[in-house]
Structure 1
Amino acid sequence: MKKILLGLVVLVFLGLSVWLGYYFYKKSNTDPIVYKTEAPVETDIIKKTVATGSIVPRKEVQVKSQVSGIVEDLYVEAGEIVKQGQLLAKIRIVPNMVSVNNAETELQRAKLNFDESKRELERYEELYRQKVISDQEYRRYKADFNISQETMMAAENNLQLVREGSSRKKGQSSNLVYSTIDGMLLDVPVKVGTSIIERNNFNEGTTIATVADMRSLVFEGKIDESEVGKLEENMDLLLTIGAIEGRVFSAKLEYIAPKGVDEEGSVKFPIRAKVLLDEKDFIRAGYSANADIVLDKRDKVMAIKESMLKFEKEQPYVEVEIAPQVFEKRMIKTGLSDGINIEVVSGLKKAEKVKIPDATIAQI
Structure 2
Amino acid sequence: MALGRTLFSRKGILLLLLLIIVVIIAWMLLPQRKAPTEFLTATVEQRPLQQAVLADGTLTASKLVSVGAQASGQIKSLRVELGDQVKQGQLVAEIDSMTQQNALQNAQAALKNIEAQRAAKQAQLVNYRAAFTRQQTMLAKNLTAKADYDSALATLSATEAEIRALDAQIVQAQIEVNTAQVNLGYTRIVSPMDGTVVSVPVEEGQTVNAVQSAPTLIKVANLDTMTVKAQISEADVIKVEPGMKVWFTVLGEPQKRYEGTLRAIEPAPDSINNDTSSLTSASSSSSEKTAIYYYGLFDVPNPQHRLRISMSAEVHIVLGERQNALVIPATAIDHIDGKTSVQVLDANQQVTRRQVVVGLNDNVEAEIVSGLKAGEKVVLSQRSAADAPAGGTEPQ
Q: TM-score range by the shorter chain?
A: 0.7 to 0.9
Q: CA deviation at 1:206?
A: 0.1
Tell me if 1:269 matches 2:275.
Answer: no
User: Distance between the aligned counterparts of 2:125 and 2:356, measured in 1?
Assistant: 111
Alignment match, 2:79: 75
Aligned residue identity for 1:33: T
Alignment match, 1:184: 196
Aligned-partner SS, 1:226: coil
User: Distance between the aligned counterparts of 1:349 and 1:158, measured in 2?
Assistant: 82
Aligned residue identity for 2:371: G
The structure with the greater share of residues assigned to helix is 2
Alignment match, 2:332: 308
Alignment match, 1:362: 394
- What percent identity do the matched residue pairs reach? 23
- Cα pair distance change 1:310/1:254, threshold 3 Å: same
- Cα pair distance change 1:248/1:155, threshold 3 Å: closer
Deviations 1:179-214, CA, capped at 9 Å, x for gaps: 111211111211112221227xxx431011111222
Alignment match, 1:197: 209
Q: Contact conserved, 2:225 with 2:302, CA < 8 A, in 1?
A: no
Tell me if 1:86 matches 2:90.
Answer: yes
Q: CA deviation at 1:230?
A: 0.4
Tell me if 1:318 matches 2:322.
Answer: no
Structure 2: unaligned runs, 5 residues or longer: 1-20, 135-152, 272-278, 280-288, 386-392
Aligned-partner SS, 2:331: helix
- Cα pair distance change 1:358/1:110, threshold 3 Å: same
Q: CA deviation at 1:151?
A: 7.0
Q: Contact conserved, 1:75 with 1:88, CA < 8 A, in 2?
A: yes
Deviations 1:16-62, CA, capped at 9 Å, x for gaps: x9xx98x979x968863343544311122211122223111222211
Give 1:1-364 correspondences, 5 Å limit: 32-93=36-97, 95=99, 119-121=120-122, 132=131, 140=160, 147=167, 150=170, 154=174, 157=177, 165-166=183-184, 173-198=185-210, 203-262=212-271, 265-275=290-300, 277=301, 279-280=303-304, 282-358=306-382, 362=394
Deviations 1:79-107, CA, capped at 9 Å, x for gaps: 111111111110115749xx97xx96x88
- Cα pair distance change 1:216/1:295, threshold 3 Å: same
Aligned-partner SS, 2:235: helix
Aligned residue identity for 2:202: V
The structure with the greater share of residues assigned to strand is 1
Q: CA deviation at 1:148?
A: 9.1
Q: CA deviation at 1:350?
A: 2.3
Q: CA deviation at 1:119?
A: 4.9
TM-score normalised over the length of structure 1 = 0.73
Q: Contact conserved, 1:257 with 1:271, CA < 8 A, in 2?
A: yes
Aligned-partner SS, 2:236: helix
**Alignment RMSD (CA, Å):** 4.1
Q: Contact conserved, 1:334 with 1:342, CA < 8 A, in 2?
A: yes
Aligned residue identity for 1:56: T
User: Distance between the aligned counterparts of 2:179 and 2:228, measured in 1?
Assistant: 49
- Cα pair distance change 1:144/1:310, threshold 3 Å: closer
- Cα pair distance change 1:148/1:269, threshold 3 Å: closer
Q: Contact conserved, 2:245 with 2:261, CA < 8 A, in 1?
A: yes
User: Distance between the aligned counterparts of 1:124 and 1:238, measured in 2?
Assistant: 80
User: Distance between the aligned counterparts of 1:345 and 1:184, measured in 2?
Assistant: 51
- Cα pair distance change 1:246/1:281, threshold 3 Å: farther
- Cα pair distance change 1:109/1:134, threshold 3 Å: farther
- Give the aligned length: 324
Q: CA deviation at 1:178?
A: 0.9
Q: CA deviation at 1:232?
A: 0.8
- Whichever of the two has the greater Rg, that structure is 2
TM-score normalised over the length of structure 2 = 0.67
- Cα pair distance change 1:24/1:209, threshold 3 Å: farther
- Cα pair distance change 1:38/1:154, threshold 3 Å: closer
User: Distance between the aligned counterparts of 2:128 and 2:334, measured in 1?
Assistant: 117
